[in-house]
Amino acid sequence: MTAQKQARSNCEMRAQDRHIVIAIDGPAASGKSSVARELAGRLGFVYVNSGAMYRAVTWDILRRGIDPRDHARIDNYLKRARIVCDLQNNESRILINDIDPAEHLRDDNVNNSVSLVSSVLRLRQILVEKMRYYVRDYDLVMEGRDIGSVVFPDTPFKFYIDALPDVRLRRRAAEGQRDEIANRDHADSSRRASPLVIAKDAEVIDTSNLSIQGVVSKIAARLRKKGLRVAGPREARQPLL
Ligand code: CDP
């Protein structure tokens, strides 16, 4: 086989082996999680919440009394922490030293410190590697801040979900959370490591006047145009035939 043919056949094999990633990025309280979870259900894909990973590590760092500004101590902590990302009911789950901190991920102190902790470069390297691991076995809907720009820059399916700041504030308050989302947005957008940006080939959706189903329908329509099969709302979570 000529080198050219070999290269082409490898490329075809990779294309077949590769799983699909739908990247959904956006600022705080833009509705990413609800949209991504619903979309994953309709597609029959695994839902990965990358923010939960940064939140879980933040929770563990705080409970150990580590200053979230102290990058050197966080780097040291990361050498010993056992961070496991797996799946539960088709959704990502994170265990830190065998503990599942799910119920603490939205605590006030985690909301306040997660942007500081997520700016630690070594942590980002570790978590991005774990995020990429999922795609070896599953088709994914993954949400976060840098999924389309850094984690999966080659995916052709990128969405950036936004909403007016006061709408986002109201949404977070309605969830009963105290969350300084303006501070987090500023920190996330201005940090050096993988800042929140709109990937150049992402489709931007303003969700200010849309319901969750409205946003999901918009994304589903775009995905269908690109050749993916997406079930309607009533078929959600049924396997696609
Ligand atoms: O509360 P919200 O759903 O808006 O945020 P999240 O997705 O739970 O993410 C919490 C925090 O984790 C963000 O404010 C970022 O500091 C960080 N994060 C990140 O740096 N990169 C990601 N891919 C996801 C989250």
Ranges of each domain in the chain: 19-232
Question: 59: CA distance to ligand 1 center in Å?
Answer: 13
Question: 106: CA distance to ligand 1 center in Å?
Answer: 11
Q: How many CA atoms within 13 Å lie on the side-chain side of 166?
A: 0
* The dihedral formed by the CA atoms of 202, 206, 207 and 208, expressed in degrees to the nearest 10: 160
- With both helix axes pointing from N to C terminus, report the angle between 50-63 and 108-117 in degrees, rounded to the nearest 10: 100
Task: Show the CA angle centred on residue 43, arms to residues 226 and 156, nearest 5°.
Answer: 35
In this model, does residue 191 exceed pLDDT 90? yes
* Residue to mutate, 54, 115, 185, ligand 1, most ligand atoms under 8 Å from C-beta: 54
Band the pLDDT of 28: cuts 50, 70, 90.
very high
- Per CATH, is 19-232 categorized as 3.40.390.30? no
pLDDT of residue 180: 86
Q: Please give the Cα distance from 202 to 191 (Å, whole number).
A: 21
Atom of ligand 1 nearest to the CA of 26: 4
* The dihedral formed by the CA atoms of 52, 56, 62 and 68, expressed in degrees to the nearest 10: -60
Which residue has a Cα nearest atom 16 of ligand 1? Answer: 115
Which residue has a Cα nearest atom 1 of ligand 1? Answer: 28
pLDDT of residue 178: 83
Which residue has a Cα nearest atom 23 of ligand 1? Answer: 144
pLDDT tens, residue by residue, 159-189: 999 999 999 999 888 888 888 889 999 999 9
pLDDT tens, residue by residue, 121-151: 999 999 999 999 999 999 999 999 999 999 9
Which residue has a Cα nearest atom 7 of ligand 1? Answer: 51
In this model, does residue 36 exceed pLDDT 70? yes
Ligand 1-lining residues (CB < 6 angstroms): 28-29, 32-33, 50-51, 54-55, 114-115, 118, 144-147, 184, 188
Question: 54: CA distance to ligand 1 center in Å?
Answer: 7
In this model, does residue 5 exceed pLDDT 50? no
